[in-house]
Amino acid sequence: MTETVAEMNQVLADADCLVPESQVHSAIDDMAKAITARLKDSNPLLFCVMNGGLILTGQLLPRLHFPVQAEYLHATRYRQETTGGILEWKLRPEQALQRRTVLIVDDILDEGTTLDAIAEFCRTQGAAEVLTAVLVDKQHDRKARPGLKADFTGLEVEDRFLFGFGMDYKGYWRNAPGIYAVKGL
């Protein structure tokens, strides 16, 4: 255990801070304003994608100035690894989605395979509209489909292995206060 703690502390010490905490908070403020303007009269159902979307959702909810029903779901491709695999549902939404506006909140839009699959699931369950919100859109040309974008994006960040503010490195550092890139990745 001590080696793991030492190793993870070294990862943070060596990492490049791409976005400081104050800039992350400013981006979340901007997202909240845009989401409020768009959804304030729609009685939306918000889904936090666990575990990555936890911190963004926790920061975002108090900034949304309208009634919102907040729930969570859990689908993953990473399982604490650094590369994605097949989508695995750990917890599917149990709420009725028919005729509801759904907002899916996650930490990052990397390739977008997981977020796209969750959105499609919500559509097949009868959601009237499915919108997505991510803190970070990683800039590259490997998206799951051409032109894939979230409806609400806080930050655009270079194509590196990121952690902090919900994103993890081998299961650690979701709690890092900014957006960091692993040295060499």
Which residue ranges form the domains of the chain, and what is each CATH number?
Answer: 20-160 (3.40.50.2020)
pLDDT exceeds cutoff 80 at 42: yes
Task: Please state, in angstroms and rounded to a whole number, the distance separating the CA atoms of residues 114 and 77.
Answer: 7
Per-residue pLDDT band at 85 (split at 50, 70, 90): low
**Mean of per-residue pLDDT scores for the chain:** 91
Mean pLDDT of 147-152: 94
Q: Residue 79: pLDDT above 70? A: no
Q: What pLDDT is recorded for position 84?
A: 52
Distance, in Å, from the CA atom of 115 to the CA atom of 134, rounded to the nearest integer, reads: 10
Using DSSP's 3-state secondary structure scheme, residue 169 falls into: strand
Buried b (16+ CB within 10 A) or exposed e, 27-44: bbeebbeebeeebeeeeb
Give residue 91's pLDDT band: very low, low, confident or very high (50, 70, 90). confident
> Which of 89, 85, 53 shows the shortest CA–CA distance to 70?
53
The answer, yes or no, to whether residue 96 has pLDDT greater than 70, is: yes
What pLDDT is attached to residue 185? 78
> Could you tell me the pTM of the whole model?
0.90
For residues 117 and 115, what is the distance between their CA atoms, to the nearest angstrom?
Answer: 5
